[in-house]
Amino acid sequence: MRKVILFVQISLDGFFEGPKKEIDWHMVDDELHAHVNEELKSMGAFLSGRVTWELMAGYWPTADADPASTPPVKEFARIWRDMPKVVYSKTLTSAGWNTTIARNVVREEVEELKLQARGDLVVGGGDLGAAFMEQDLIDEYRIYVHPIQIGEGKRLFPPSKEKVLLRLAETRTFGNGVVLLRYERLRRSAES
């Protein structure tokens, strides 16, 4: 069965966005972007919240038409346009670019998506990630830690009384100092 992967960029102090939702501190160079493209092009769908989807839809559909775009940016524009997407929103009434609207994170619907997808499902964004974590729907965490402390903002992991058991599956350090931490979710049935 396919996996649900939380795929996020965070600061060293654990924030996925600054206090005004800024992400200008991300250190995405051509090496990291090429890696992300390689990882994401084999996925089955991108799952995002409305804010993330609107940010993506505002840039990626035409990013490869800009003569100043780098090869990794041009490649990702094609990946994003072609990839099936689900946007979780209570307010959107329509969404283009191969996107389906879902109102709530429903375990049975996510399980059905996993069965139908041609690849793993990628959850992007902290709020949607938190909703998936609340229902224990994340199978793998791919966390790209940027070598910067931003001091304040929105933390990736909301407070919780639940313990989540993980197994380190991979680490990778990029030339710009970003470190990938890839963890697999361990569940009680898998531990026995």
**What pLDDT is stored for residue 189 in this prediction?**
63
Closest to 140 (Cα-Cα) out of 190, 75, 83, 87: 190
Give the list of residues 6+ apart from residue 19 with CB closer than 8 angstroms, or none: 152, 153, 154
Radius of gyration of the CA atoms of the chain, in A: 16
Helix (H) or strand (E) run with residue 28 in it: none
Closest to 141 (Cα-Cα) out of 35, 4, 33, 31: 4
**For residues 74 and 62, is the Cβ–Cβ distance under 8 A?**
no
Q: Which domains does the chain have, with CATH numbers?
A: 4-191 (3.40.430.10)
**What pLDDT is stored for residue 182 in this prediction?**
98
Partner residues linked to 101 by β-bridges: 87
Q: How far apart are CA 88 and CA 76, in angstroms?
A: 22
Q: How far apart are CA 127 and CA 104, in angstroms?
A: 12
Give, for all 192 residues of the chain, the pLDDT tens digit: 799 999 999 999 999 999 998 999 999 999 999 999 999 999 999 999 998 899 899 899 999 999 999 999 999 999 999 999 999 999 999 898 999 999 999 999 999 999 999 999 999 878 899 999 999 999 999 999 999 999 999 998 888 888 899 999 999 999 999 999 999 999 876 444
Give the list of residues 6+ apart from residue 65 with CB closer than 8 angstroms, or none: none
**For residues 22 and 135, is the Cβ–Cβ distance under 8 A?**
no
* Torsions phi, psi for 62 (to 5 deg): -125, 10
Q: How far apart are CA 121 and CA 132, in angstroms?
A: 12
**What pLDDT is stored for residue 21 in this prediction?**
87
